[in-house]
Homo-oligomer: A and B are copies of this chain.
Amino acid sequence: MRDFSQDHRWLSINTATIRKSRGVEQPLTDIIEACVQRGIRAISPWRDQVAAAGLPAISKLVKAHGLELSGYCRGGMFPATDAAGLKAARDDNRRAVDEACELNATCLVLVVGALPGALAGQAVHKDIALSRSQVTDGIAELLEYSKANKMPLAIEPLHPMYAADRACINTMEQALDVCDALDPSQTGALGVAVDVYHVWWDPKLEAQIKRAGKERLLAFHVCDWMTPTTHLLEDRGMMGDGVIDIPRIRGWVEAEGFAGYSEVEIFSSGNWWQRASAEVLDTCIARHRSAV
Protein backbone atom coordinates (compact mmCIF):
# COMPACT_ATOMS: atom_id res chain seq x y z
CA MET A 1 0.00 0.00 0.00
CA ARG A 2 1.42 3.37 -0.99
CA ASP A 3 2.52 5.79 1.70
CA PHE A 4 0.41 8.95 1.37
CA SER A 5 1.68 10.56 4.56
CA GLN A 6 4.63 12.42 3.08
CA ASP A 7 3.15 14.20 0.07
CA HIS A 8 0.01 14.53 -2.01
CA ARG A 9 1.23 13.31 -5.36
CA TRP A 10 -1.70 10.86 -5.59
CA LEU A 11 -4.38 13.35 -4.62
CA SER A 12 -7.00 14.32 -7.14
CA ILE A 13 -9.73 16.87 -6.60
CA ASN A 14 -13.17 16.26 -7.94
CA THR A 15 -14.16 19.78 -8.85
CA ALA A 16 -17.57 19.47 -7.16
CA THR A 17 -15.67 19.59 -3.87
CA ILE A 18 -14.92 23.28 -4.33
CA ARG A 19 -17.56 24.21 -6.82
CA LYS A 20 -18.70 26.76 -4.25
CA SER A 21 -16.49 28.96 -2.12
CA ARG A 22 -18.32 30.59 0.79
CA GLY A 23 -21.54 29.56 -0.94
CA VAL A 24 -20.66 31.26 -4.24
CA GLU A 25 -20.29 29.23 -7.46
CA GLN A 26 -16.64 29.19 -8.67
CA PRO A 27 -15.53 29.17 -12.31
CA LEU A 28 -13.68 26.00 -13.25
CA THR A 29 -10.67 28.04 -14.34
CA ASP A 30 -10.30 29.41 -10.80
CA ILE A 31 -10.69 25.92 -9.35
CA ILE A 32 -7.95 24.62 -11.63
CA GLU A 33 -5.60 27.47 -10.73
CA ALA A 34 -6.17 26.87 -7.01
CA CYS A 35 -5.31 23.19 -7.43
CA VAL A 36 -2.23 23.89 -9.50
CA GLN A 37 -0.96 26.44 -6.96
CA ARG A 38 -0.95 23.68 -4.36
CA GLY A 39 0.88 21.14 -6.46
CA ILE A 40 -2.22 19.03 -7.00
CA ARG A 41 -1.57 16.99 -10.11
CA ALA A 42 -5.03 15.72 -11.00
CA ILE A 43 -8.65 16.77 -11.06
CA SER A 44 -11.97 15.29 -12.07
CA PRO A 45 -14.19 17.99 -13.55
CA TRP A 46 -17.94 17.98 -14.12
CA ARG A 47 -19.42 18.45 -17.56
CA ASP A 48 -21.54 21.46 -16.62
CA GLN A 49 -18.47 23.24 -15.23
CA VAL A 50 -16.50 22.46 -18.39
CA ALA A 51 -19.38 23.61 -20.57
CA ALA A 52 -19.67 26.90 -18.67
CA ALA A 53 -15.97 27.64 -19.18
CA GLY A 54 -15.82 26.21 -22.69
CA LEU A 55 -14.23 22.88 -23.54
CA PRO A 56 -11.39 24.33 -25.66
CA ALA A 57 -10.34 26.73 -22.91
CA ILE A 58 -10.34 24.00 -20.28
CA SER A 59 -8.53 21.58 -22.55
CA LYS A 60 -5.85 24.18 -23.17
CA LEU A 61 -5.53 25.00 -19.46
CA VAL A 62 -5.31 21.35 -18.44
CA LYS A 63 -2.59 20.69 -21.02
CA ALA A 64 -0.67 23.84 -20.13
CA HIS A 65 -0.48 22.74 -16.51
CA GLY A 66 0.17 19.09 -17.28
CA LEU A 67 -2.87 18.20 -15.20
CA GLU A 68 -4.22 14.68 -15.31
CA LEU A 69 -7.91 13.78 -15.11
CA SER A 70 -8.58 10.92 -12.69
CA GLY A 71 -12.01 10.78 -14.28
CA TYR A 72 -14.60 12.83 -16.10
CA CYS A 73 -17.98 13.43 -14.44
CA ARG A 74 -20.16 12.16 -15.88
CA GLY A 75 -22.00 10.01 -18.37
CA GLY A 76 -24.96 7.78 -17.69
CA MET A 77 -28.62 8.55 -16.97
CA PHE A 78 -29.64 5.94 -19.53
CA PRO A 79 -33.27 5.09 -18.62
CA ALA A 80 -36.07 6.83 -20.44
CA THR A 81 -39.74 6.35 -21.18
CA ASP A 82 -39.59 6.26 -24.97
CA ALA A 83 -37.29 5.79 -27.93
CA ALA A 84 -36.63 9.50 -28.27
CA GLY A 85 -35.50 9.68 -24.64
CA LEU A 86 -33.24 6.67 -25.02
CA LYS A 87 -31.71 8.16 -28.16
CA ALA A 88 -31.15 11.53 -26.48
CA ALA A 89 -29.31 9.75 -23.65
CA ARG A 90 -27.25 7.80 -26.17
CA ASP A 91 -26.24 10.92 -28.06
CA ASP A 92 -25.41 12.83 -24.90
CA ASN A 93 -23.25 9.98 -23.66
CA ARG A 94 -21.32 9.94 -26.90
CA ARG A 95 -20.63 13.64 -26.48
CA ALA A 96 -19.43 12.90 -22.96
CA VAL A 97 -16.98 10.35 -24.39
CA ASP A 98 -15.78 12.92 -26.93
CA GLU A 99 -15.18 15.49 -24.18
CA ALA A 100 -13.40 12.95 -21.98
CA CYS A 101 -11.13 12.13 -24.92
CA GLU A 102 -10.40 15.78 -25.59
CA LEU A 103 -9.41 16.19 -21.93
CA ASN A 104 -7.47 12.91 -21.96
CA ALA A 105 -9.37 11.59 -18.95
CA THR A 106 -8.48 8.25 -17.36
CA CYS A 107 -12.11 7.20 -17.66
CA LEU A 108 -15.64 8.46 -18.12
CA VAL A 109 -17.55 7.91 -14.89
CA LEU A 110 -21.09 6.60 -15.34
CA VAL A 111 -23.89 7.47 -12.95
CA VAL A 112 -26.34 5.25 -14.69
CA GLY A 113 -29.72 6.73 -13.87
CA ALA A 114 -32.80 5.13 -12.35
CA LEU A 115 -36.58 5.62 -12.53
CA PRO A 116 -37.41 8.22 -15.19
CA GLY A 117 -38.84 11.36 -13.62
CA ALA A 118 -37.86 10.43 -10.06
CA LEU A 119 -35.07 13.00 -9.88
CA ALA A 120 -37.70 15.67 -10.55
CA GLY A 121 -39.87 14.15 -7.81
CA GLN A 122 -42.34 12.36 -10.06
CA ALA A 123 -41.34 8.86 -11.10
CA VAL A 124 -43.09 7.79 -14.29
CA HIS A 125 -43.08 4.13 -13.22
CA LYS A 126 -41.89 1.88 -10.40
CA ASP A 127 -40.24 -0.84 -12.47
CA ILE A 128 -36.62 -0.72 -11.35
CA ALA A 129 -35.92 -3.96 -13.21
CA LEU A 130 -36.88 -2.20 -16.42
CA SER A 131 -34.54 0.69 -15.64
CA ARG A 132 -31.75 -1.77 -14.93
CA SER A 133 -32.32 -3.45 -18.23
CA GLN A 134 -32.21 -0.10 -20.04
CA VAL A 135 -28.98 0.72 -18.23
CA THR A 136 -27.31 -2.48 -19.37
CA ASP A 137 -28.47 -1.87 -22.93
CA GLY A 138 -27.28 1.72 -22.79
CA ILE A 139 -23.84 0.79 -21.52
CA ALA A 140 -23.57 -1.97 -24.14
CA GLU A 141 -24.26 0.50 -26.92
CA LEU A 142 -21.97 3.19 -25.50
CA LEU A 143 -19.19 0.67 -25.04
CA GLU A 144 -18.87 0.18 -28.79
CA TYR A 145 -18.34 3.89 -29.20
CA SER A 146 -16.04 4.33 -26.22
CA LYS A 147 -13.88 1.38 -27.23
CA ALA A 148 -13.45 2.86 -30.69
CA ASN A 149 -12.34 6.07 -28.99
CA LYS A 150 -10.20 4.30 -26.41
CA MET A 151 -12.05 5.83 -23.46
CA PRO A 152 -12.66 3.41 -20.55
CA LEU A 153 -16.10 3.52 -18.95
CA ALA A 154 -16.26 3.36 -15.15
CA ILE A 155 -19.62 2.31 -13.73
CA GLU A 156 -20.04 3.97 -10.35
CA PRO A 157 -22.30 1.94 -8.08
CA LEU A 158 -24.21 4.52 -6.07
CA HIS A 159 -25.41 4.10 -2.51
CA PRO A 160 -28.78 2.33 -2.37
CA MET A 161 -30.38 5.54 -1.07
CA TYR A 162 -30.02 6.84 -4.66
CA ALA A 163 -31.62 3.80 -6.29
CA ALA A 164 -34.84 5.63 -7.13
CA ASP A 165 -33.54 8.81 -8.65
CA ARG A 166 -29.83 8.69 -9.56
CA ALA A 167 -28.48 5.22 -10.17
CA CYS A 168 -30.10 1.80 -10.10
CA ILE A 169 -26.69 0.10 -9.97
CA ASN A 170 -26.13 0.03 -6.23
CA THR A 171 -23.48 -2.52 -5.35
CA MET A 172 -20.08 -3.51 -6.65
CA GLU A 173 -21.42 -6.99 -7.30
CA GLN A 174 -24.17 -5.65 -9.50
CA ALA A 175 -21.76 -3.39 -11.41
CA LEU A 176 -19.35 -6.26 -11.95
CA ASP A 177 -22.16 -8.49 -13.17
CA VAL A 178 -22.74 -5.88 -15.89
CA CYS A 179 -19.01 -5.81 -16.64
CA ASP A 180 -18.97 -9.60 -16.93
CA ALA A 181 -21.92 -9.53 -19.27
CA LEU A 182 -20.62 -6.80 -21.56
CA ASP A 183 -16.86 -7.23 -21.40
CA PRO A 184 -16.25 -10.83 -20.37
CA SER A 185 -12.61 -10.82 -21.42
CA GLN A 186 -11.81 -7.93 -19.06
CA THR A 187 -10.21 -5.72 -21.68
CA GLY A 188 -10.11 -2.70 -19.37
CA ALA A 189 -12.65 -0.89 -21.54
CA LEU A 190 -15.30 -1.29 -18.85
CA GLY A 191 -14.84 -1.23 -15.10
CA VAL A 192 -15.93 0.44 -11.90
CA ALA A 193 -15.37 3.62 -9.94
CA VAL A 194 -15.09 2.71 -6.25
CA ASP A 195 -16.39 5.58 -4.12
CA VAL A 196 -16.05 4.71 -0.45
CA TYR A 197 -19.15 6.77 0.37
CA HIS A 198 -21.32 4.53 -1.77
CA VAL A 199 -19.88 1.13 -0.93
CA TRP A 200 -18.30 1.23 2.54
CA TRP A 201 -21.30 -0.48 4.17
CA ASP A 202 -21.27 -3.49 1.85
CA PRO A 203 -20.39 -6.76 3.61
CA LYS A 204 -19.20 -8.12 0.25
CA LEU A 205 -16.98 -5.15 -0.56
CA GLU A 206 -13.60 -6.76 -0.04
CA ALA A 207 -14.58 -9.84 -2.03
CA GLN A 208 -15.97 -7.75 -4.88
CA ILE A 209 -12.87 -5.55 -5.04
CA LYS A 210 -10.85 -8.76 -5.42
CA ARG A 211 -13.26 -9.92 -8.09
CA ALA A 212 -12.87 -6.62 -9.96
CA GLY A 213 -9.11 -6.87 -10.13
CA LYS A 214 -6.73 -4.34 -11.58
CA GLU A 215 -8.30 -4.18 -15.05
CA ARG A 216 -11.66 -3.11 -13.71
CA LEU A 217 -10.63 -0.81 -10.86
CA LEU A 218 -10.65 2.43 -12.83
CA ALA A 219 -11.15 5.07 -10.16
CA PHE A 220 -11.08 5.48 -6.37
CA HIS A 221 -13.12 8.24 -4.70
CA VAL A 222 -12.98 9.32 -1.08
CA CYS A 223 -14.94 11.41 1.42
CA ASP A 224 -16.61 10.29 4.65
CA TRP A 225 -19.97 9.20 6.08
CA MET A 226 -21.14 11.46 8.89
CA THR A 227 -23.26 10.41 11.88
CA PRO A 228 -25.78 11.83 11.76
CA THR A 229 -26.09 12.48 8.04
CA THR A 230 -28.53 15.35 7.64
CA HIS A 231 -29.10 15.39 3.89
CA LEU A 232 -29.18 12.47 1.47
CA LEU A 233 -27.07 14.17 -1.20
CA GLU A 234 -25.18 17.12 0.21
CA ASP A 235 -23.89 16.11 3.61
CA ARG A 236 -20.73 14.22 2.78
CA GLY A 237 -17.90 14.54 5.22
CA MET A 238 -14.19 15.28 4.93
CA MET A 239 -11.98 12.21 5.16
CA GLY A 240 -11.36 11.45 8.82
CA ASP A 241 -14.48 13.18 10.13
CA GLY A 242 -16.81 10.21 9.71
CA VAL A 243 -17.01 6.46 10.19
CA ILE A 244 -15.48 5.02 7.01
CA ASP A 245 -12.26 3.09 7.46
CA ILE A 246 -10.79 4.58 4.29
CA PRO A 247 -7.24 3.19 4.61
CA ARG A 248 -8.62 -0.33 4.89
CA ILE A 249 -10.61 0.04 1.68
CA ARG A 250 -7.67 1.70 -0.11
CA GLY A 251 -5.57 -1.24 1.01
CA TRP A 252 -7.97 -3.65 -0.66
CA VAL A 253 -8.01 -1.65 -3.88
CA GLU A 254 -4.23 -1.30 -4.02
CA ALA A 255 -3.74 -4.99 -3.21
CA GLU A 256 -5.35 -5.63 -6.59
CA GLY A 257 -2.88 -3.34 -8.30
CA PHE A 258 -4.76 -0.06 -8.44
CA ALA A 259 -2.11 2.66 -8.60
CA GLY A 260 -4.10 5.70 -9.62
CA TYR A 261 -5.28 8.84 -7.87
CA SER A 262 -7.33 9.09 -4.72
CA GLU A 263 -10.04 11.51 -5.77
CA VAL A 264 -11.77 13.68 -3.17
CA GLU A 265 -15.44 14.19 -3.98
CA ILE A 266 -17.42 16.06 -1.33
CA PHE A 267 -20.93 17.50 -1.73
CA SER A 268 -21.56 19.58 1.35
CA SER A 269 -24.01 22.44 1.11
CA GLY A 270 -24.06 23.05 4.85
CA ASN A 271 -20.38 22.85 5.68
CA TRP A 272 -17.54 22.62 3.15
CA TRP A 273 -19.28 24.59 0.39
CA GLN A 274 -19.77 27.37 2.93
CA ARG A 275 -16.02 27.67 3.54
CA ALA A 276 -13.37 29.37 1.42
CA SER A 277 -12.14 26.98 -1.26
CA ALA A 278 -8.53 27.61 -0.18
CA GLU A 279 -9.34 26.23 3.26
CA VAL A 280 -11.14 23.26 1.76
CA LEU A 281 -8.23 22.41 -0.53
CA ASP A 282 -5.69 22.74 2.27
CA THR A 283 -7.82 20.44 4.39
CA CYS A 284 -8.09 17.92 1.55
CA ILE A 285 -4.30 17.85 1.30
CA ALA A 286 -3.86 17.39 5.04
CA ARG A 287 -6.48 14.66 5.27
CA HIS A 288 -5.15 12.91 2.18
CA ARG A 289 -1.95 12.46 4.18
CA SER A 290 -3.51 11.57 7.53
CA ALA A 291 -6.83 9.85 6.88
CA VAL A 292 -6.71 8.18 3.45
Using a CB–CB cutoff of 8 Å, the interface residues on chain A facing chain B are 115, 118-119, 121-123, 126-128, 132, 159-161, 163-165, 168, 170-171, 174, 200-203, 225, 227-230, 232, 242-245
Contact = CB atoms under 8 A, between A and B. Distances in A.
Contacts of A243: 115, 118, 123, 126, 164
Give the secondary structure class of A's interface: loop
Among A127, A128, A170, A202, which residue has the most Cβ atoms of chain B within 10 A? A128
B165 A118 contact: no
Contacts of A161: 159-161, 229, 232
A227 B160 contact: no
A201 B160 contact: yes
Which of A127, A171, A244 has the largest count of B CB atoms less than 10 A from its CB? A171
A115 B228 CA distance: 12
Given A127-B245, A170-B201, A244-B126, A228 B160 contact: no
B163 A201 contact: yes
A127 B245 CA distance: 7
